Amino acid sequence: MESESESGAAADTPPLETLSFHGDEEIIEVVELDPGPPDPADDLAQEMEDVDFEEEEEEEGNEEGWVLEPQEGVVGSMEGPDDSEVTFALHSASVFCVSLDPKTNTLAVTGGEDDKAFVWRLSDGELLFECAGHKDSVTCAGFSHDSTLVATGDMSGLLKVWQVDTKEEVWSFEAGDLEWMEWHPRAPVLLAGTADGNTWMWKVPNGDCKTFQGPNCPATCGRVLPDGESSSRKRAVVGYEDGTIRIWDLKQGNSIHVLKGTEGHQGPLTCVATNQDGSLILTGSVDCQAKLVSATTGKVVGVFRPETVASQPNLGEGEESESNSVESLGFCSVMPLAAVGYLDGTLAIYDLSTQTLRHQCQHQSGIVQLLWEAGTAVVYTCSLDGIVRLWDARTGRLLTDYRGHTAEILDFALSKDASLVVTTSGDHKAKVFCVQRPDR
């Protein structure tokens, strides 16, 4: 096992560090904890040191935009019934991302290939305001923990934050090419990963900044750990293109654990998820593996591989393996189950207690994202065939599906009470579906 702990100070400029996991065989049970009273909003922000940095010169954006290539395996014609209740149609190109306001679940923010982002009302699709000023495809968007702020980020690395009630821009920053962006779950603190390997953290709107320097390759995915009340640490897990995984101490600015070599992945990371108390981490990669990691010790405590890859026949000379990768994953909040979605359309449900495959659910085309419904064992998936599906993870049975898009779904979000699913698509539209299940 090639694992190390590194400690380094937060840099004054875009430097970063590394993390590693060490786990413990006993941490397999998924426990739903009482979140308790929220931390003061400025708790983490007060720990951040003021940093002087030179803003990099703005690079010229790609005026041609980002055009999605046709996807193999996508059903040719998606014309058919439209099950949606509301359609938002102000985007003029593919809509890449969506997020719902966490406080009331009445607003959505969407971003697209048209270099635009909009905040709109779920009930009727009414536009509240446009998040103007982007000059490249908007690939990240999200509301702060209290729904007072909304952030948008484009591929060139321009991030903007808006006050929702006044509809005014209150902060902006130009980082490197953007890979991911996420708000801290309890504070007005924004995190982002960029193609130069840096993870950035800002207090918004005053702009206090820290950077965490990873390897010299893109920081492809990241997630703030929802630390339990017993933990005073504020941590984040970040995955990188070279297959390494790092857990960062956000207050101290150093990496707590680093997973690399055989402990890391053998290809770029694509996604990362945590369980409710932040004790377990699940990472996914283009190497088709999902790794279960103890956030406390940094050790790998489980590795999940799709059976379809293990049983793939030997290929003859000149033949190429069908591309497959882990695209999305997540933990069930009420049972010791994890779901992993693959590009080949496989949804795998794993039992964490026994680390065995429980169910394998097949889609007609690649899975883009999956989400667990809170408080149940129901998994939602969206895929390249433009369909949202609901699966019972206990039985592996398809409960229902929702149709209406005429192109691939690129992102989706689920309301807290699981009554609404909001999707974005290559058909230039976002749609709101009302979820009706007889078993609820």
Other C-beta atoms lying within 10 Å of the C-beta of residue 42: 13
Other C-beta atoms lying within 10 Å of the C-beta of residue 161: 23
Residue 18 has pLDDT above 50, yes or no: no
What per-residue confidence (pLDDT) applies to 306? 83
Coarse DSSP helix, strand, coil percentages of the chain, rounded to the nearest 5 percent = 5, 40, 55
Residue 440's pLDDT band, with cuts at 50, 70 and 90, is low
Which residues are CB-contacts of 393 (< 8 A; sequence separation ≥ 6)? 332, 335, 337, 339, 349, 358, 359, 377, 378, 379
Residue 51 has pLDDT above 80, yes or no: no
323-439: what CATH class?
mainly beta
What per-residue confidence (pLDDT) applies to 307? 75
Q: Which residues pair with 77 in a beta bridge?
A: none
Report the percent of the chain where pLDDT is more than 90. Answer: 74
Give all strands of the β-sheet with 346-351 in edge-to-edge order. Answer: 326-331, 337-342, 346-351, 356-362
What per-residue confidence (pLDDT) applies to 333? 95
Average pLDDT over residues 385-398: 97
Residue 202 has pLDDT above 50, yes or no: yes
Average pLDDT over residues 86-91: 98
What per-residue confidence (pLDDT) applies to 189? 96
Average pLDDT over residues 423-440: 88
Residue 388 has pLDDT above 70, yes or no: yes
Most confident option among 23-32, 243-252, 316-325: 243-252
Sign of the dihedral through C-alpha 134, 138, 140, 146: positive
Residue 432 has pLDDT above 50, yes or no: yes
Residue 348 has pLDDT above 50, yes or no: yes
CB-based contact 117:77 (threshold 8 Å): no
Tokens 């379809």 locate to: 308
Residue 47 has pLDDT above 90, yes or no: no
Most confident option among 54-58, 61-65, 87-91: 87-91
CB-based contact 233:183 (threshold 8 Å): no
- For residues 254 and 76, give the distance between their C-alpha atoms in angstroms, rounded to a whole number: 49
Average pLDDT over residues 169-189: 96
Residue 227's pLDDT band, with cuts at 50, 70 and 90, is confident
Average pLDDT over residues 72-88: 73
Residue 140's pLDDT band, with cuts at 50, 70 and 90, is very high
Read off the pTM: 0.80
Looking at every residue in the chain, the average pLDDT score rounds to: 84
- For residues 228 and 37, give the distance between their C-alpha atoms in angstroms, rounded to a whole number: 11
Residue 75 has pLDDT above 50, yes or no: no
Lowest mean pLDDT of 78-82, 208-212, 239-243, name the range: 78-82
Residue 49 has pLDDT above 60, yes or no: no
Residue 261's pLDDT band, with cuts at 50, 70 and 90, is very high
Q: Where do runs of H (alpha helix) occur along 97-229?
A: none
- Cis status, amide bond into 81, omega within 30 of 0: no
Residue 235 has pLDDT above 90, yes or no: yes
Locate the DSSP E strands across 68-167. 86-88, 95-100, 107-112, 117-121, 127-130, 138-143, 149-154, 158-163
Residue 335 has pLDDT above 60, yes or no: yes
Q: Which residue has the higher pLDDT, 440 or 252?
A: 252
Lowest mean pLDDT of 78-82, 116-120, 400-404, name the range: 78-82
Residue 62 has pLDDT above 50, yes or no: no
Residue 241 has pLDDT above 70, yes or no: yes
Tokens 């108390």 locate to: 277
Residue 121 has pLDDT above 80, yes or no: yes
Other C-beta atoms lying within 10 Å of the C-beta of residue 265: 27
